[in-house]
Structures are given as structure tokens and as C-alpha cells.
Structure 1
Amino acid sequence: MMERSEREIRESKLQELMNKHFAASSVPKGIHCLSLRLTDEYSSNAHARRQLPSPELLPLLSDNSYYHFILPTDNILVASVVVTSAIQSYLTPERIVFHARSPKYISLLNHLRIYLPELFPNLDKVVFLDDDVVIQRDLSPFWEIDLNGKVNGAVETCKCEDSWVMSKRFRNYFNFSHPLVAKHLDPNECARAYGMNIFDLHAWRKTNIRETYHEWFKENLRSNLTLWKLGTLPPALIAFRGHVQPIEPSWHMLGEEYDRLIEIINSQVVDCSMTEDADARRIMIHD
């Protein structure tokens, strides 16, 4: 009887997590209506049906002398904010190439970055952006950061005193009461920001990062999501261990730091994903 009750409780918790995931990944009504309007425009406007990019620009998609950004999104509005902010901020916007990826199934968006070396076999270095960031400054120097042979350059999220965003460690993401987690991970290890990362794809292809990601992701499924809750940041934190070069925090401002306007002005990229204050969010977007 007790065993049956425990099983039902586990199944109920799993169903609750899945429902939250589906709710979070559903398409808002406003975006759905926009899609219908764009579809109508596409069918009635020949100009809207032009091939993009134009044939003469296709070689640029694999030209390593350009700045290549990967933007996974299914939301044309937020994508336009990211792209526009980049163009307005860059001193040489003509050297920017955006690769927008929108898989058929929205849930695949979160896993996209783990396949970057295979998706872009001819590129050596890319910057991966979430669709909730706004570029504030010319990012050309960002590409010159020395990764010291590492695969990933990212801002660490354990270097500040706030209790929300910039004090995140592994203990915030993993269930350390699980013996497998306790055995292999350190609860005090620093986590990393996910909204803007630079990747050396040449170095990545020499690693087993993808295999490690898959192994831990499957293990969590076999454990009924008891290693961590739904999400792709935890397995990525594990897979990239030992392959990350910490970068200066001013490159990427997150969450609660939005109330320090001097940092908004000076930061290179603002991440709106954890901003709860609507007025502050508007300041970021329109600054």
C-alpha cells in the first residue's frame, strides 16, 4: 500500500513538472495572431517570398572572417529586438551574420546549442544568444577574448552578493540528496550564465561534451527527474565542466543587476530573462 502511494506521488510530481514545461513553452495568443498575419502577408506579397539570404550572400554563412551569431527562437518579435540591437550597436554591422534556428518542435530549441559543431561544420567560432538579450555595445572585441584553449567563454554567476541571480552555484540546480549527484558534483562549484556564450567550435570537436550531456540527460530521465528538474542548463553545466573560460562579468548583465543603471549603460549585453520589473525591462530594451 505504501509503495503504491509513493509511486502515485512520484507520478503526480512528474506530471506537474511536465504541465509546467508545456505551459511555459506554449505560444501566446498575440504571437499566434502575428503568425497568421505574417502567413497572409507571405501569400499575398511576392516580395515577402524572396529567398533569404540572396544567392550571392550564401558564401558568407560559412566565412570565418565574419561575426557569426546563433539565435534559436520561434518568436519573430524578440528576434527582431536582438538583431536590431546588434546592428545598431556594432561599428561594422555589415560583418554580422545571424543564423536563426527555429526547430519544428519548440522543446528542441533548448537543446540546440549542444549540436553547434555539427550544425555549423564550417565555422570555427560563434556567439550563441538567447532570444531575451539586448546588445548594448559593439561586440567586436568579444571575439578576441583568449579562451586559453577552452571551448566556452561565459560569465560565472557566483561572483556577486545578491541572492537571486549572481550567486548561483551547482547546489541551486541539482538535487544533492541524490547519491549520484553527491558523488560526482560539487555543490559549491560556480554556475554560468547561459544567455550569451562564445564557443570555439574547433576546440569543441575534439571533446566528448555532447556524449556527456546525453549520458546525464538520460540518467535524469531514468531517475524520474530526481537529479534536477526539467531544463537544459543542469546537464550543460556538467557537460562543459573543465571546458569553460570565465569572462569579465561586464560583458553580460543578468537579472537583478538591472536596477544599477550605470551597469546597464556600460554592459555589453543585457539579459532580460530574469527581469520581473516591467519598467526596468522597457529601460533595457529602449536604452
Structure 2
Amino acid sequence: MSKIRLCQRILLLSLFFLSVVAPLVFVSHRLNLLTLLGRREFLEDLYRATYRGDTLKLNAVEQEGADGLEEPNQVVYTEKDFASTISYYSEKNNDFKESGIAGYRTTTLERNGFNPDKGQRQGAQQNELSFMAQGRNIHDSQRMSEKNIQVTNKKVQEIKDQVILAKAYLKIAPPSSNLRLRDLEQLTREMELAVGEATQDSDLSTSALQKMRHMEASLSKVYRAFPDCSAVGAKLHTMLRQAEEQVRSQRHQATYLVHLAARTAPKGLHCLSMRLTAEYFALRPEERKLPNENKIYHPDLYHYAVFSDNVLACAAVVNSTISTAKEQEKLVFHVLTKSLNLPAISMWFLINPPAKATVHILSIDNFEWSSKYNTYQENNSSYPRFTSELNYLHFYLPDIFPALNKIVLLDHDVVVQQDLSELWNINMKGNVIGAVGTCQEGKIPFYRIDMFINLSDPLIGKRFDANACTWAFGMNLFDLQQWRRHNLTAVYQNYVQMGLWNIGSLPLGWLTFYNKTELLDRQWHVLGLGYSSDVDRNEIEQASVIHYDGLRKPWLDIAMGRYKSYWTKFLNFDNIFLQQCNLQA
């Protein structure tokens, strides 16, 4: 028995010795077969494995966090967003860090026996790889430079995001929290003041960037105290809904205030009208007459009709037309207004005579022919285009001017920039009205008939084509002879009796002058200056007439500033009445 046990022990010891010695022999044999290049690659792989451990761990943590977070859907900051490795300061030192690592690698390889001078082929391969790496780095740096040029508000957006996230943390943190919430709240206020109204990174001060780094550190501490992103996400979602509701409410309020301002006469204009009216009635009857009354209905002159109850608006239209005209003595302006405003408008042109042109002021309340037409109906709408009788008297021009054959209609919110004498030479081809079309998509404005008129009504739909081109009031040439021949005033009255009064004067014009419209070149009449900020500046400069259609009239405080100078340059704000009423450009 003792011999058997002895043999078993010897066998076990032999197997143990073999299991220990065999791997050593195998490894030493493999090491002898390695070349110098193989040793270098082996050591590099060993080095990379050593320094990639932390990166792999971080990636694993990031992936785990991403898989676990399903709600909310909004973008939630993670801890890596506040790590110092991506801070503003560290981005500037990336090149230094990379060069340091490269130097450390070279030193390590030399210490392990690698000689870079051995082997020309190996050196050539190394140079080629180095050249490719440099080219890739240059390409990456160029791409980053282009990105930095394009994205000039990156820091501003980061600061705003930090402020939003800080507010979310402040709302979910309990009062008993041991965090330094007061410091975070103070830093949030400082960040809001630092960013102010900045829209580009160049607008930020150096102190703002320093506060940004402090905020990163503070948010990183808060994140470690609240690692659960779901609470932060829910709070951000609530804040988003509240902000959207606030924006929606403010938009409704802004829209209401804009409409209110458009319907309300400014205090300065009311003051001007009252002062001019008082001056007018202080004159003797013979002093109230305007000059050149013999030219009022001369058929060979250029006649312009302006419907308005606004003194400044009439002055701008008349002054701009006269200043750009080549033959001022041929211009005759017929200003039609209500009897309440007639004294003020008359007094304005008495103290500001229109050079060689003629101005004729008419009161719409004195028309004898109006009794045979139902020219105005009571309407409950508060919008001026539905309630002002001046907007509907356009359809009675042949009755207002029975002695004239042609006339140009100018709205009181237009400015004439070029001589309009060529307008009178346009061949109307038997049509009644000349107007600029508004049926071209992509241009301002764009209208379709079915936007304003219910073509499903069989009495209307069978008469009109929904694809017919629309046009604009504001600057229109009328052939009054053709108008009388087609008896279009009766056609208009028929549509009014059908109950189409409420659709507005423009759609009624489309119906009344359907298939009797001569479309003019867009350069004659550019629209949109009263509501759109996208009107092409070149089109404005080249236009014969520009139109402030919309709510933002140039004489209101809500006027669009970029277009207002085209209107104010035709008014003399040094006038004593304008100064007394505090009316300024």
C-alpha cells in the first residue's frame, strides 16, 4: 500500500510540475519569434488596453443610463454634460493633452527596447502613417473651424440651457436639502443678467464665460445629489407646458392690442385735426377756397381720387405724388372725406399749398345722387373695413365724377415713388380696372377667391372660377367710360342685396370687376409694408407705388420701423401744427 501511495504522489507532482513549466516554455518560445516591429505593436496594444479602461467603463455607464431612461421624451442632461473634460477650458487644451500622450508613448517604447532608427522600411511605414494622421487632424480641425463659424451662438444657448436646468433643480429640491441652494439660485440670477439679450457668443463678456464654468460645477454637484433623471425630466416637461401656455396667451394679447391700436385714432392726429378745424372756421368764407378751381374736372389732366379721413395720410399721398411728377401742373387730387373731417383737411392744404398741382376736397355727405343707391348698411362689425363708408364709395366713381373718363384711385396708406404719367398710356384692352395681381404663390400678398368667398353657393360658384387671378386695391386705373357701358355699379348693388356686404370691399371688387381687369406689372404697386417684414428691399426701391396695407399703418406707433422712413420723408415735421401736437417722424 505504501508503494502505491508513493507512486500516486509522484504522478501528481509530475503533473503539477508539467502544468507550471509548460506555459513558461511556450511563452518564452513565442517571445523569441517576435520581431522588433512585433514587439512594438505588442507594447502599443498593451499601452492602449491600459489607458482605455476608464473610457470603456464610462461608455458602459452611459449606455446603461440611456437604456434605462424611457420617459420623459425631452432631452435631459447627463453627468457627462457637466464634466470638466468638456468644459470651455478643457476644449482649448485638447491639443496639448494629445501631444503629451504621444510623447509619453514614445518614451515608453524606447524604454522597452524599441529603436526607431532600425529598419528603413519600418521608418517609411511610420512616416506614412504619421502623414495620414496629420492630414486627418488638419481635416478635423478645418471641419471644427467651419462649425465654429456657422454656430456662433453655441455658448449663449448653453448658458440658457444651464439656467433652465438650474431652475428645474431648484423646484424639485426639498427645503431640507443640504445642498447650497442659495448659491445656485444666486448664480442663476447672475447668469440671466450676464446673458441679457445676447444672441451671439461675441456678445458675451469674459465674466459670463467664467460664471458658465462655475455653473457647470454647481450643476454637477446637484446632479450627483439627484441622480434620478425622471424627476428632472418631469419638471422640465411641466415648465415647457407652462412656457407654451404663457407664449400662447401673450400672442393673443398682442394680437388684440395691435387690432385695438389700429382702430384707435392716435392722440396726436386727433389734436392736429382739432387745431386745423379751429383755424379753418376762423377764416372768412372767401379765404376757405383752394386755388385752381377751374381745373377740377378738366378731362385732359391726370386725376387722382383719395378716400380718407386722415390729414397726415392725405398729405403724404399728395406730397409724394407731386414730388415725383414730371408735369406737376397736370395733377388734380380729389380728396373725398366725411363732413366732419373736411375743415381740417381743407385747412392743411390752405397752409401747405401743393405747388402747381390742384387739390379738390369733397364731402361724401353732400352727394345728391346717393339717395338712389343704398350706399351704406348698418353693420355690427368693429373692424374698420366693414364699417367705413369710404371703403365702399370706390364702386360709385362714375357717379362721383360724371365729367371724367379716366381716374386713378390711390388709397391713403400709399406712397408714390416714381412718376405715374405712363400709367395713363396703358392699353386697357376694353377692361374697366387696371390692377396688380395677387395670385402668384410665394409673393406678397397671395390671395385666392375661395379664401374670402363661399363658392359652394350655387348662385356664386357657377359664375366664378376659384383659380381666377385676384388683384389688389390701393393703386388702380379706372376707365370710367367702360364702367358706365357695362353698368358695373348696378352689378355691385346686386351683390350687396344678395347679402355679400360682410365679405369686405376687396372681394366685392373681385366679383364686380370679374373678367374686366387688366393686370399690371408688379413694379407699379408693391404691397405688404403694413404687415410683412419679408418684403424685398429691391422691390420697394424700384416700385412706383408702395402700399402699407394691413394694420401697421405708418402713422401709428405700431408701424414697422424698417419701412416707416419711406413715408415720413414726404412730411415736414417742422410744421408748427405738428410740433404743437407732438407728432414726430
TM-score in terms of structure 1 length = 0.80
1:86 alignment counterpart: 321
- The equivalent position to 1:195 in structure 2, one of 450, 474, 480, is 474
1:245 matched residue in structure 2: 518
The AA in structure 2 aligned to 1:262 is: N
Q: Which amino acid aligns with 2:439?
A: C
Q: What secondary structure, in the 3-state scheme, does the structure 2 residue paired with 1:63 have?
A: coil
Question: In structure 1, what is the equivalent of residue 271 of structure 2?
Answer: 33
- Residue aligning to 2:301: 66
Q: Secondary structure at the match of 1:148?
A: coil
Structure 1 residue 108 and structure 2 residue 346: aligned? no
Q: Given the alignment, which residue of 155, 177, 184 partners 2:436?
A: 155
Task: Give the percent of matched residue pairs that are identical in Structure 1 and Structure 2.
Answer: 35
Which of 483, 489, 495 aligns to 1:204? It is: 483
The structure-2 alpha-carbon separation of the partners of 1:139 and 1:233, relative to structure 1 and needing over 3 Å to count, comes to: same
Distance 1:254 1:82 in 2: 15
Q: Given the superposition, is the C-alpha separation of residues 135 and 95 from structure 1 closer, same or farther in structure 2, using an over 3 Å criterion?
A: same
* Uncovered stretches (5+) of structure 1, i.e. residues with no partner: 1-20
Contact 1:25 1:107 in 2 (8 A): no
- Closer/same/farther in 2, CA of residues 88 and 72 from structure 1, 3 Å limit: same
Q: Which residue of 2 aligns with 1:184?
A: 463
Mapping 1:138-177, distance limit 5 Å: 138-162=419-443, 165-177=444-456
Alpha-carbon distance between aligned partners in 2 of 1:34 and 1:268, rounded to the nearest angstrom: 29
Residues 280 and 24 of structure 1: CA distance in aligned 2, closer, same or farther (over 3 Å): closer
1:98 maps to a residue whose letter is F
Does the 8 Å CA contact 2:280/2:288 hold for their aligned counterparts?
no
1:120 shift after superposition: 0.7
Q: Any residues of structure 2 matched to 1:258-277 within 5 Å, and which?
A: 259-274=535-550, 276=552
Question: 1:23/1:111 Cα in 2 relative to 1: closer, same or farther (>3 Å)?
Answer: farther
Find 1:51's aligned residue among 288, 299, 321: 288
**Offset at 1:184?**
2.8
Q: Does residue 125 in structure 1 map to residue 363 in structure 2? A: no
Deviation at 1:58, TM superposition (A): 2.1
CA contact (8 A) 1:156 1:190 kept: yes
Q: Unpaired runs of 5+ in structure 2?
A: 1-258, 340-364, 366-386, 553-558, 570-585
Distance across 2 between alignment mates of 1:23 and 1:278: 13
Deviations 1:124-156 (A, max 9, x none): 110001100000001111111110111111111
Cα pair 1:90 1:138 within 8 Å, conserved: yes
Letter of the aligned partner of 2:492 in structure 1? Y
The 8 Å contact of residues 429 and 518 in structure 2, kept in 1 or not, is answered as yes
| Corresponding residue for residue 9 of structure 1 | none
Conserved? CA contact 2:314–2:412, under 8 Å:
yes
Q: Give the 3 Å change call, closer, same or farther, for CA 125–171 of structure 1 in structure 2.
A: same
1:230 CA drift (Å):
4.2
Q: How far off is 1:110 after superposition? A: 0.8
Question: What whole-Å deviation, never above 9, does each CA across 1:147-191 have from its counterpart, x for those lacking one?
Answer: 0111111111012414xx432120222123444333332222211
Relative to structure 2, which stretch is displaced further, 234-243 or 169-178?
Answer: 169-178
**3-state SS of paired residue (1:50):** helix
Q: Larger RCO: Structure 1 or Structure 2 (Cα < 8 Å, ≥ 6 residues apart)? A: 1
What's the secondary structure of 1:220's corresponding residue? Answer: coil
| In 2, Cα distance between equivalents of 1:260 and 1:140 | 25
1:249-277 Cα distance to aligned partner (Å, 9 max, x none): 11000114863111111110000113756
- Give the Cα–Cα distance (whole angstroms) in 1 for the partners of residues 333 and 533 of structure 2: 27
Distance 1:122 1:60, change over 3 A: same
More strand by share: 1
Partner of 1:11: none
SS in 1 for 2:296: helix
CA contact (8 A) 1:61 1:97 kept: yes
Aligned AA (1:235): L
**Could you report, residue by residue, the CA deviation over 1:80-116 in whole angstroms, capped at 9, with x for unpaired residues?**
0000000111111121100000134772201111111
1:30 offset after TM fit, Å?
3.4
Q: 1:216 to 1:253 in 2, by over 3 A?
A: same
Q: Which structure dedicates a bigger proportion of its chain to helix?
A: 2
Relative to structure 2, which stretch is displaced further, 270-279 or 201-210? 270-279
1:217 to 1:154, Cα distance in 2 relative to 1, 3 A: same
Deviation at 1:25, TM superposition (A): 5.9
CA distance in 2, matches of 1:160, 1:205: 34
Shift of 1:27: 4.3
How far apart are residue 38 of structure 1 and its match?
1.2
Residues 248 and 125 of structure 1: is their aligned pair in 2 closer, same or farther, counting only changes over 3 Å?
Answer: same
Question: 1:157 is paired with a residue of what secondary structure?
Answer: coil
C-alpha change, 1:271 and 1:258, in structure 2 (3 Å) is: farther
